[in-house]
Amino acid sequence: MNASAKPSVMLKGVSVSQGIAQGAAWVLDEKAPLTIPRRTIVEAEVAAEMARFDAALDEAESCLRGAQKEIERKVGADEARIFEAQILLLRDPGFAKQVADCCSTGKINVEAAVADTVEKLSARFAALGNAILRERTADVRDVGRRIVERLLTHQCQRCSDLPQGSIVVTNELFPSTTARMNFQAVSGVITERGGRTSHASILTRSLGIPGLIGIKDAAQRIRNGDALIVDGLAGMVHVNPSPEVRREYDRLQADFTAHRNSLQQLLDGPTATADGVAVKLSANIGKIADAAAAALFRADGVGLYRTAIKAVVDAARAAGKEISICGEMAGNAAYTELLLGLGVRSFSTTPGEILEVKKAIRSVRISTAEELAEQVLNLRTVQEIKACVSSGTGVSPV
């Protein structure tokens, strides 16, 4: 990477997928506005405008289903299901009615009516209290953009010509964009928006690509071709780093690779705590490659479950039933001791996270884990819980 004559900058974000990546920036500005025509229409034009809208819906759905097949082929069926939500929104009668009302009542062309309706829906989603639902705002914007593109006769953009080793920098990584992206050429992902359950975050973790979110104005502050180092461990990106910083990260990357290689020694060891309590460690799979990886990492089985709270765990154990934890906590080694202390004895995580979790399991004693769980259950805030877990494990939860 040649960073000469360019200022070095360090930007802070939130890590959603661990690792270190070095490469050139490939900036995708998804905020670049479409030029949407806005004109006044008469009542006699409304029917023709809505006919154009219906045709655009058909074309947009066709494009979405094509994107869904691409993601399923590249990544897996689970990751491709995000498009089902978009297709449902696309065909939602309520959405169509709002567009029709905006067009007929406001006497404006259908492109403007779609843009106004999407803006209102996005604002409603963004105001929701549930973080997961708030992150679906991206789906609303993505669907709206697709419809307007069809109305303006724009074709699906292609992102398949990425240079090898590129680090994608964007405001928001829409599902439709990832479907057109050659991820074999991607070494890292940086976004301004998104959360740990956003499409981009789930995808980067599934593919083992270092990823950061929450870097303000990243697509404006970083230029195409800028030399980048993505630190998915500390949650930062170095833009046009100095030779000294590059050398330091060469060493850190080598250490991280060595750490990953050292985990291979755990492959044939039992999945049990330090005091001998057996734990089942399964793999979530959504594609053939996941099944192969599950076998490679010696997963105890295959599982796909939802996170359970302590009351559920206790009830299940009383009934002689097994509870398997899946999701963010199950795959985050920082929470392994806490979950063991809460009584969980079966974990289900992505294949790439199995060995990290297995290492955490083998280093824990149940008595110590139960003490940590008792402390956590008496806490009131997320910040207090994270601090308690961090002090107990030495690893900061994200």
The answer as to whether 192 is a domain residue is: yes
pLDDT digits (tens, 9 = 90+) for 186-221: 999 999 988 877 777 877 887 788 999 999 999 889
> Looking at the predicted structure, is the pLDDT value of residue 29 above 60?
yes
> Rounded to the nearest 10 degrees, what angle do helices 110-126 and 46-74 cross at?
50
Q: Final residue of a domain: which of 263, 287, 314?
A: 263
Least confident of 86-95, 157-166, 176-185, 259-268: 157-166
Backbone angles phi, psi at 42, to 5 degrees: -105, 165
Least confident of 226-230, 291-295, 352-356, 368-372: 291-295
Least confident of 138-142, 177-181, 315-319: 315-319
My answer on whether 115 and 71 are in the same domain is yes
**DSSP class of 269:** S
My answer on whether 251 and 348 are in the same domain is no
Q: What CATH number is attached to the domain comprising 202? A: 3.50.30.10
pLDDT digits (tens, 9 = 90+) for 37-83: 899 999 999 999 999 999 999 998 998 898 888 888 877 777 788 78
My answer on whether 112 and 172 are in the same domain is no
8 A C-beta contact, residue 99 and residue 117: yes
Q: Which of the given ranges, 50-59, 82-91, 284-293, has the highest pLDDT on average?
A: 50-59
Query: pLDDT at position 314, please?
Result: 67
The answer as to whether 354 is a domain residue is: yes
My answer on whether 284 and 388 are in the same domain is yes
pLDDT digits (tens, 9 = 90+) for 296-315: 555 665 554 333 355 666 66
Mean pLDDT, the chain, rounded, equals 82
> Looking at the predicted structure, is the pLDDT value of residue 283 above 70?
no
The answer as to whether 37 is a domain residue is: no
The 3-state DSSP class for residue 60 equals helix
Q: Domain tally for the chain?
A: 3
Q: Final residue of a domain: which of 225, 240, 263?
A: 263
Give the helix ranges, DSSP H, for the chain: 46-74, 77-80, 82-90, 93-106, 110-126, 131-134, 137-151, 175-179, 199-207, 218-221, 243-263, 288-296, 310-318, 328-331, 336-341, 354-362, 366-377, 382-393
My answer on whether 231 and 308 are in the same domain is no
Query: And the tokens for 176?
Result: 């439709």
Measure Cα distances from 253 to 228, 245, 248, 250, 263 in Å.
14, 12, 9, 5, 16
The answer as to whether 367 is a domain residue is: yes
What residue has token string 């850190």? 252
Query: pLDDT at position 390, please?
Result: 79
Measure Cα distances from 237 to 21, 34, 43, 65, 159 in Å.
9, 29, 54, 34, 23
Query: And the tokens for 55?
Result: 């045709």
My answer on whether 171 and 236 are in the same domain is yes
> Looking at the predicted structure, is the pLDDT value of residue 156 above 60?
no
Distance separating alpha carbons of residues 34 and 397, to the nearest angstrom: 39
Range of the domain at 131: 43-151
The answer as to whether 1 is a domain residue is: no
- Banded model confidence at residue 282, pLDDT cuts 50, 70, 90: confident
Query: pLDDT at position 24, please?
Result: 94
pTM over 0.75? The answer is no
My answer on whether 226 and 256 are in the same domain is yes
